[in-house]
Amino acid sequence: MVDIPPSVAELLQEVAWAVRRAAKDTYASLGVTMAQMRTLRTLDRIGEPVRMGDLADRLHIVPRSATSVVDDLEAAGLVARHVDPADRRASLVGLTDAGRRLLDDARQLRAAANEQFVARLSVKDQADLRRLLTQLTDPPS
């Protein structure tokens, strides 16, 4: 049988999976899932409390799924719901101080894990990889 080397795309996918597995483990150590962390990061990027429907749109999920994730995050004290002053029938969801602290902890842990992940490469190889990946992620001219 002929051994066919993996394509660049296959190797990139394997690296992405390895990074995702490490992230999942990091988030689990903090007591949250990938979906919960994505929700926390999205709320952080928005920077202010947002309606549930808007959050679901930003996450590209159905409102019911957003409600389930927010319910769990609220039970953990990481987000809070408030009545929307513009429409008392609606509620806004935003990060709590505990949610912000968890995000800070996650960022520090992920940065350390990512640094360790590429540490097997020389400084020059890391710079080359960064340059090449940037070329692949930049929109074509």
67-125 pLDDT tens trace: 999 999 999 999 999 998 888 888 899 999 999 999 999 999 999 998 999 999 999 99
Check pLDDT > 90 for residue 138: no
Domains for the chain: give ranges and CATH numbers: 8-137 (1.10.10.10)
DSSP 70-97: HHHHHHTTSEEEEEETTEEEEEEEEE-H
pTM to 2 decimals?
0.83
Structure tokens at 116: 């360790």
28: enclosing H helix or E strand:
helix 8-29
Nearest to 100 by CA among 122, 120, 77: 77
pLDDT number for residue 1: 67
